[in-house]
Amino acid sequence: MFEVNNNKMNDERIDDIGDNHVGTSAKNPLRDDAFDLSDQEKIAKIQESVKDILETLGMDLTDDSMQGTPKRVAKSFVNEIFMGLNPANMPKASTFENNYNYGEMLVEKNIVVYSTCEHHLLPIIGRAHVAYISGGRVIGLSKMNRLVEYFSKRPQVQERLTMQIVQAMQEALGTQDVACVIDAKHLCVNSRGIKDIESSTVTAEFGGKFKEKNTKREFLDYLKMNTDFN
Ligand SMILES: [Zn+2]
């Protein structure tokens, strides 16, 4: 991790952080006043800003096709693609007692990740694979998808996203034995800059028993299983 001194933040440093995809903190860098404005107030403000950007680019916003664009973008920023910034939107990760005493690993594979790179505001698209070993509590399968979705809907770096998913699962389940692997394409790499359309980025976080070689191996082996039922 790299310390950021805002006073020294110049253009070169900004480019460096973006090009190297360096996350500066394990938490999303939110200000204390992040939720002083209501969602409606945010939408109104962002709408004006997007209008400004498009007009600066020379777009004619009286054109039928683009008239509603600033509002559409503002609504999607607040209600959809960045909705996970607001803790009020955190899904309730209700857990249950492990009544059937299933003691092995549970793996939820191929959870779709649709996130946004915080350096370029371009999409990160991929799959998350999440696993845990119950320490007495179990979690609904769809809750795992919802947690992945919630943390994805933020300006993100993939490493942080991976860690946040594991931490939230650990807290919900009361066990350290949680792991997550994410394999994703960053459109900022695929469509601009170096324009490498083939590359993808893999990140992993292994907690508790998943740090042990055999458990980690077992989890990674499950990811290789063919789950294409078509
Ligand atoms: Zn990027």
Residue 117 known to be catalytic: yes
Task: Indicate whether 191 pLDDT > 80.
Answer: no
Say how many C-beta atoms besides its own lie within 10 A of residue 48's C-beta: 10
Share of the chain above pLDDT 70, in %: 89
CA distances from 46 to 34, 116, 130, 153 (A): 14, 17, 34, 17
Task: Indicate whether 194 pLDDT > 50.
Answer: yes
> Exposure pattern of 94-133 as b/e (b: 16+ CB <10 Å)?
ebeeeeeeeeebebbeebebebbbbbbeebbebbbbbbbb
Say how many C-beta atoms besides its own lie within 10 A of residue 210's C-beta: 23
Q: Which residue among 47, 117, 149, 156 is the active-site one?
A: 117
Listed in sequence order, the residues at least 6 apart from 85 whose beta carbon sits closer than 8 Å to its beta carbon are 28, 30, 34, 153, 154, 155
Q: Which residue among 47, 108, 119, 164 is the active-site one?
A: 119
Q: Using the mean position of ligand 1's atoms as its centre, give its distance from the Cα of residue 126 in Å.
A: 14
Residue 188 known to be catalytic: yes
Q: Which residue among 108, 149, 156, 158 is the active-site one?
A: 158
Residue 40 known to be catalytic: no
- Averaged pLDDT, 136-145: 93
- Give pTM, 2 decimals: 0.87
pLDDT confidence of 4, banded at 50, 70, 90?
Answer: very low
3-state helix, strand, coil in the chain (%, to 5): 45, 20, 35
Residues 108, 141 contacting (CB under 8 angstroms): yes
Task: Indicate whether 223 pLDDT > 90.
Answer: yes
